[in-house]
Amino acid sequence: MSCRASVIICLLTVVLVPPSDVFVETCRADDVCVSNQGSPTICVNWDEPSPPEEGEDFDVDFECPTCSDYPNLQLRTGSLTWRVYSKDESTPSNPGDMGHLTSDPTRAGNYAVTLRRADTTAGARDMKSFVLKPNFPHYQTNIIDSVVTGSIEGDVTV
């Protein structure tokens, strides 16, 4: 069940459960998280009919020289509802670090990305860069309502 369908069902019981709590509980289980021993965990989600698939809709790189501490995330499939975040390996409730967050330059698509957890806490501690740049005419990218608690070392390009 997608987050959209879950929210609609739960809004019928809004007297019992606040809508913001409904979104957190129903969507958190649908997050797709990729981890590597000793590295931050990278999680993604979107409001599309099926969950995003690693290797098809997104890629996480733990292999580059700095990627064990700052894993890179490339979004490969366009979506206006991407939500991504990094979890600290030793304390998963804390934001983790993220390397370069990019869109696939070989694919056409519109990208809107929120760097934040479903419960609205920060999406990352420190980042290397945030580069979502459409390479095809008539496409757009947006960064929406995102929170980084530390710093972004490189470019922020949309």
The answer to whether 127 and 146 have CB atoms below 8 angstroms apart is no
The pTM of this model reads 0.79
Nearest in space to 96 (alpha carbons), one of 124, 73, 128: 124
How high is the pLDDT of residue 4? Answer: 33
- From first to last of its 158 residues, the chain has per-residue pLDDT tens of 333 333 222 222 222 223 332 222 223 468 999 999 889 999 999 999 999 999 999 999 999 888 899 999 999 999 999 999 999 989 999 999 999 999 998 888 899 999 999 888 999 999 999 988 877 888 888 888 999 999 999 888 88
How high is the pLDDT of residue 29? Answer: 60
How many other C-beta atoms can be found within 10 angstroms of the C-beta atom of residue 90?
9
Q: How far is CA 146 from the centre of its chain?
A: 10
Nearest in space to 88 (alpha carbons), one of 145, 28, 33: 33
Burial of residue 80 (number of CB atoms within 10 Å: 0-12, 13-18, 19+) = middle
How high is the pLDDT of residue 148? Answer: 95
How high is the pLDDT of residue 134? Answer: 75
The answer to whether 33 and 117 have CB atoms below 8 angstroms apart is no
Q: In one letter, which amino acid is 20?
A: S
